[in-house]
Amino acid sequence: MTRPIVEARALHKHFGALHVLKGIDLTVAERELVFVIGPSGSGKSTLLRCLNRLEEPSSGSIIVDGIDLLDRHTDINRARQRIGMVFQSFNLYPHMTALGNVTLALRKVAGKRRPEADAIGGAALARVGLADRAGHYPNQLSGGQQQRVAIARAIALEPRVMLFDEPTSALDPELVGGVLAVMRELRESGMTMVVVSHEMGFARAAADRVLFMDEGIIVEQGPPAQIFGEPREERTRAFIGQIQRH
Amino acid sequence: MSSWDRFADTFLNAAVMAKYLPNIIDGFFLTVGLAALVVVSGIAAGLVLAVVRSLGVRPLNWLIIFIVDLFRALPPLVVIVLLYFGLPSAGFTPTAFGTTWASLSLVLMAFAEEIFWAGITAVPRGQWEAARSTGLTFWQTLSSVVLPQAIRLTIPPLTNRTIAITKGTALGSVIGLSEILSQASSAVSFSFNPSPLTLGAAAYLILFLPVVVLGRWIETRFAWQR
């Protein structure tokens, strides 16, 4: 087995008196797609946000692509270029075009000159099927298109791992498919991915491993067929039963 | 003499106006220069304070809030009088121009800081997170992502506030700054005729009406679209 891309050990996170992550161990192998499910408040988004230190873990260790994220000497801004993140609410920069959104970090962080950044950004937009929308501002794009631009913004930096925080939760149902198709394409191209989502169909079809979290711990994990088909833990069963009724 | 003639002789006396026009013009240019300086330094200082405040250093923020609240609460005239008559006993004698400039700049700084700060906090957290997640530093995020959005939000209120405070240049007349109002009132005392005040009012209109119109245009131009 190759070196894991993500290695989190004994992660704890406290928000004041609230103990949100209670000792999470998570290893993600290269090219693996790990899917995280769990009730709201289970800590799954917090876990994801710890993996690029948007959230500062209270204790534990996180190594991404060989870089110790919690080491004081680590340049977190450099490390973050290798960790793409996609948010529930897209978070595109409203004052910039789609291409401007995608190329900002290429120019400011990766130090590319504008023609080169534009070429890379254009290719990233083409990859998410939006080459013809490069000059559009976010408010001129549908939610699904905005999320695809956000994915292009992350992949343009050629990350080693992509984190998805409920990427389709804010979308109208008819727009979900386009975003999932892009994620599927990414997965098939070999991108390592950690996805927090409620899209169980996508999980079944594309995930290598499904993680069920509840109350700050990983209750159970395994291949999608096992977690959705024959969960071992009572809490997992209850949760799966609940979402499948809907 | 009809009452109209009496009125015209009092407020629109051509001979008096012609005589004192050069003084009013001097006052006009002094006021323009002072107003421009106040706008530049007041807004720049306010932006700097708002940016420092966004660093989130507690004691520094308390200090900023204290300064800002102080100058928002004090009437500008009080600041001017206090500095002009207070500083000499501290061994420093300021000019009337310097005092008016510094006082109005401080007041504009205080209001501008609050407006910029409101703009910065109105930019959603997700914007910071998205930018930081791509490796942008705090300063890069602030300058490329947050401030462009914040400043756009702040332009209408800032324009209004700036107009209101630059009109305070007239307060300099209290400490003998020879700006428009002061030129006009001394002309009145020399000529025993209030017509120079009409001239002064006209000068203020020539100066501020375009600014007010420009402000209205900026407000519609920068109305936030999402």
Q: CB distance from B176 to chain A under 8 Å? A: no
* pLDDT exceeds cutoff 90 at A24: yes
- Residues of chain B with pLDDT below 50 are 226
pLDDT at residue A143, as a whole number: 94
Contact (Cβ atoms closer than 8 angstroms) between residue A18 and residue A43? no
Q: How far is CA A128 from each of CA A91, A102, A125, A155, A227, rounded to the nearest angstrom?
A: 17, 12, 5, 10, 30
Residue A161 or A246, more confident: A161
Mark yes or no for CB contact B131/A89 under 8 Å.
Answer: no
pLDDT tier at A237, thresholds 50, 70, 90: very high
Contact (Cβ atoms closer than 8 angstroms) between residue A145 and residue A179? no
Digit-coded pLDDT (tens) for A29-54:
999 999 999 998 899 999 999 999 99
pLDDT at residue B15, as a whole number: 87
- C-alpha triplet A34, A37, A41: angle, nearest 5°: 130
Q: Please list every residue in chain A whose beta carbon sits closer than 8 Å to the beta carbon of residue B138.
A: none
pLDDT at residue B226, as a whole number: 42
Closest of A141, A185, A146 to residue A162, by C-alpha: A185
Which residue shows structure tokens 């006993």?
A: B89
Contact (Cβ atoms closer than 8 angstroms) between residue A212 and residue A233? yes
Is the ipTM reported for this complex over the cut 0.90? yes
Q: Please list every residue in chain A whose beta carbon sits closer than 8 Å to the beta carbon of residue B130.
A: 85, 87, 91-93, 150, 153
Cα–Cα distance, B147 to B150 (Å, whole number): 5
Cα–Cα distance, A175 to B53 (Å, whole number): 40
Digit-coded pLDDT (tens) for A138-189:
999 999 999 999 999 999 999 999 999 999 999 999 999 999 999 999 999 9
Q: At what angle do helices B147-166 and B96-122 cross, to 10 degrees?
A: 150
Q: CB distance from A81 to chain B under 8 Å? A: yes
Percent of all residues in chain B with a pLDDT value above 90, rounded to a whole number: 66
Q: Please list every residue in chain B whose beta carbon sits closer than 8 Å to the beta carbon of residue A52.
A: 133
Cα–Cα distance, A147 to A168 (Å, whole number): 8
What pTM was estimated for this model as a whole? 0.87
pLDDT at residue B152, as a whole number: 87
